[in-house]
């Protein structure tokens, strides 16, 4: 791009300061940290143990490209019928030794993605350099351990992205079949709310205890086919975030729904794979909840840990913003 074009881009996309985030997805956080660890290993090989600085600079650039690809374009390339094995959800998520978790593709996987190959090729280059380097044994073992762990974390991050995209496809399928008589409910425990008040004294500020709260976001269509969103917030003074609490929350949400929207007769539940959601007590209690509320629970979907709950996270952010403005 020309210099004038770059200036126009910068004018529209102004620079912003990076802030310290909290509550990050631990799989993504560990994957990002793994790339930083590999860069430290490469810098040590380039500065101290014989590999030239040009190799270190080139290798670090490849690691940055691989990290940028995982954070951005990789999820766009994933599909159910790609000829690239790393992009094909059907092929990548199949277990060859278990017929219950295996699905066949109607195409061959002859394609190759150059951007997917950046990381394994770079990791192999780093491992080969570690075998050739002449350094103290303890230092070499430490670098080999860091490299091995980093490779595992990055592959786990890539698998996490693939699973999240596949599980999000289930949500899209449900949204396509929604009508005025059905609804999708996303459930999640939010981070504990710490009570606060305007100009609180030091006595009130010390020794606070967070209040657990649960968010349920309901999505349905009206008679015109437009999506409507309704949020249920349950705030507890003291509560164990276990299956008993989840069962009570689901029953209360469906009871209120039968009063607010009596035309809804079917719901689809979606939550993460936390123990309080997939426990036997929760699943076995659902038929009883159906009989008591008159609403059928047709389907239950579980998303990857710390994934698939964007609706709840967005509503929690809105609520926290309103509370901060009020105080």
What is d(CA 122, CA 62) in angstroms, rounded to the nearest whole number?
7
What is d(CA 210, CA 222) in angstroms, rounded to the nearest whole number?
37
Domain ranges of the chain: 22-174, 178-325
* The domain over range 178-325 is classified in CATH as 3.30.420: yes
The whole-number average pLDDT for the span 49-76 is 90
Q: Which residues pair with 271 in a beta bridge?
A: 302
pLDDT digits (tens, 9 = 90+) for 205-220: 676 777 888 999 999 9
Give the pLDDT band of residue 307 (cuts 50, 70, 90): low
pTM (2 d.p.): 0.76
Q: What is the pLDDT of residue 284?
A: 93
Strand ranges in the chain using DSSP code E only, listed in sequence order? 182-193, 211-221, 227-235, 266-272, 296-303
What is d(CA 125, CA 227) in angstroms, rounded to the nearest whole number?
51
| CA nearest neighbour of 105 among 113, 118, 96 | 96
Q: What percent of the chain has pLDDT over 90?
A: 36
Q: What is the pLDDT of residue 20?
A: 47
Q: Greater confidence, 252 or 101?
A: 252
Residue 223's CB: how many other CB atoms inside 10 A?
Answer: 8
- Phi-psi group of 281: left, alpha or beta (phi > 0 → left; psi -120 to 50 → alpha; rest → beta): alpha
């Amino acid at each position: 791009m020309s210099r004038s074009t770059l200036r126009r881009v910068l004018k529209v996309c102004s620079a912003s300061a990076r802030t310290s985030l909290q509550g990050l997805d631990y799989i993504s956080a560990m994957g990002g940290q793994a790339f930083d660890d590999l860069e430290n290993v490469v810098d040590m090989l380039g500065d101290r143990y014989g590999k030239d600085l040009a190799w270190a600079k080139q290798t670090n650039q490849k690691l940055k490209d691989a990290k940028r690809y995982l954070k951005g374009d990789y999820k766009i390339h994933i599909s159910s019928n790609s000829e690239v094995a790393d992009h094909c959800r059907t092929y990548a998520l199949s277990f060859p030794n278990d017929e219950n978790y295996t699905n066949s593709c109607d195409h061959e996987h002859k394609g190759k993605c150059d951007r997917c190959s950046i990381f394994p090729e770079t990791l192999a280059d780093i491992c080969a350099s570690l075998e050739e380097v002449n350094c103290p044994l303890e230092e070499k073992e430490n670098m080999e351990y860091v490299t091995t762990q980093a490779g595992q974390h990055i592959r786990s991050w890539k698998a996490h992205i693939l699973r999240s995209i596949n599980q999000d496809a289930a949500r899209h399928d449900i949204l396509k079949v929604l009508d005025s008589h059905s609804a999708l409910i996303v459930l999640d425990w939010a981070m504990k709310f710490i009570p606060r008040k305007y100009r609180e004294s030091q006595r009130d500020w010390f020794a606070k205890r967070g209040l657990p709260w649960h968010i349920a976001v309901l999505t349905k269509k009206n008679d015109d086919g437009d999506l409507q969103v309704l949020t249920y917030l349950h705030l507890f003074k003291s509560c164990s975030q276990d299956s008993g609490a989840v069962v009570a929350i689901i029953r209360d949400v469906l009871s209120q729904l039968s009063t607010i929207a009596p035309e809804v007769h079917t719901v689809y539940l979606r939550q993460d794979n936390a123990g309080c959601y997939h426990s036997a007590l929760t699943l076995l209690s659902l038929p009883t909840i159906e009989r008591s509320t008159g609403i059928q629970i047709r389907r239950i979907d579980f998303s990857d840990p710390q994934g698939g709950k964007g609706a709840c996270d967005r509503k929690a952010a809105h609520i926290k913003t309103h509370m901060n403005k009020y105080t």
